[in-house]
Homo-oligomer: A and B are copies of this chain.
Amino acid sequence: MEKVSIRDVASRAGVSVSTVSRALSRPEMVSESTRRKIQAIAEELDFSVSRTAGNLKSGKSRRIALLVGSNKIEWFTANIMEGLNSVILDQGYDLVFYPISSVEDRRAFFEELPVRNNVDAVIISSFTATAKEITRLHSAHVPLVGINSPSTLNFSATVHTSDRTGMKLAIRHLSLLGHRKILYIYQTFHSSIKFSSYGRIQAFKDACAKKPGITGIVKSFENPHEAFDALTTGILSEDDPPTAVCVHQDSQALPFLFRAQSIGLSIPDDLSIMGYDDSSFAQDVGLTTIRQDPYAMGREAASKALQLIESREPEIQHEEFPVELVVRRSTGEIRKHQLF
C-alpha cells in the first residue's frame, strides 16, 4: 500500500481534487451525496490530509516553540509543558521543545532563527534574550511570549509570578514564628543563561532588609551532599546561628531535610525549613513552601500565544499569577532555648 494522496481519492470518487479537499475540510460546502462517497473512499484508502501541504499554503506551521534554559525537564518545565499542551493540542498545534543551555546556544538560535519560517510563536521560559535578539524575532513576525522572564521588555505578552511577593510571604511567616536570623541557600547555576531564579535571591534579600530585626544570609552550594554538611557544620559552630532556612526550590530542600535529620536535628524544633514551588512531593514530606502554579501559567501563555498568532491582542498583556503560602510541618515557632 503506497502513499495515498488527495488525487487518489479524487480519481477513485470520480470528482475533482478540489471537491475532495472541500469534502474533508469544509464539508458544508459539498452536497451530501458526494461528501458521503468521498468520506467513505477516504476511509477505505486510509487517507488523511497532509498538514505540510496546507501549512505551505497558509504560511503557518501550526507549531509553537518552547525555549527553556536547560535540557533537563524538571517539575517546573514539565508543568509548563503540560499546561501548554493542554491548550494547543486541541487547536491543532504542536509544541516543539528547544533546550538552550548556554549563551552560545541562545545566540545560535537567534542568529539562525531556525524558527523564522518554521514556528508560529515562541515561548521563552525563565530566561530572556537580548533586546536585539528579540527584535529579530519580531521582524520575522513571530510573537514572543515570556514565562517568568527577568524582563518583560519587548515581549509580545508575558505571564509571571512575583518572587517578591513569594519571599515576602515566606519572611513574614518566619518572622511571625519568631525567627530573626534566616539563611537562604541555593544550588549554584552552571548555565551561562541568566535565569529568572536569580530574582528570587534578590527578593529574599529585599524582604529581609525591609523587615526590621530580621537578618538574611545567602549561601550557595555546588553539590547538595557535601555542601549541606559544610553548611550545617557552619551553622552549628556559629554563636548566633540562623534558626530558619529558606531553600531556593523544593527539590533542593528535600536532601537538606534529610541531611538535617540525619545529624540529629529535629525539624522544625531545632530548625525551620521552607521550600519554594509546592512541587509534587512537598506535601508528602510536610514541607512548608510557597506555591506557584506553572500549569496554569502554561495554559495562559498558550492562549496568549494563540491570540497573537491570530493577530489579536491578549486582554492582559502582562499577567501576574498568584503565589501562596502553604504551611506544613517543616516550620515552627522559634523555641526559647533553641538547640543552637
Please report A residues at the B interface, Cβ cutoff 8 Å.
1, 3, 46, 48-53, 55-56, 59, 61, 63, 71-74, 78, 81-82, 85-86, 89, 94-99, 112-114, 116-118, 136, 139-141, 224-225, 251, 254-255, 258, 262, 280-281, 283-286
Instruction: Find the B residue at minimum CB distance from A79.
Output: B73
Which chain B positions have C-beta within 8 A of A71? 82, 85-86
Answer whether A48 and B136 are a contact pair too, CB < 8 Å, given A71-B82, A81-B73, A258-B284.
no
- CB of A59 within 8 A of CB of B3, answer yes
Which residues of chain B have C-beta atoms less than 8 A from A141's C-beta?
3
Using A48-B117, A71-B86, A254-B285 as known contacts, list a sample of 18 further A-B pairs with CB atoms less than 8 Å apart, ordered by residue number in A.
A3-B141, A48-B113, A48-B114, A48-B116, A49-B117, A50-B56, A51-B118, A53-B56, A73-B78, A74-B78, A81-B97, A89-B98, A225-B283, A254-B281, A254-B284, A255-B281, A258-B285, A281-B281
Q: Is B95 in contact with A97, judged by CB distance below 8 angstroms? A: yes
| A285: chain B residues within 8 A (beta carbon) | 254-255, 258
Residue contact A96 to B99, C-beta cutoff 8 Å:
no
Residues of B near A89 (CB, < 8 A) are 98-99
B52 contacts A118, CB within 8 Å?
yes
User: What are 21 A-B residue pairs whose CB atoms fall within 8 Å in the complex?
Assistant: A1-B139, A3-B141, A46-B113, A48-B114, A49-B117, A51-B61, A52-B52, A52-B56, A53-B56, A71-B82, A81-B97, A89-B98, A94-B97, A96-B96, A224-B284, A225-B283, A251-B280, A254-B285, A255-B285, A258-B284, A281-B281
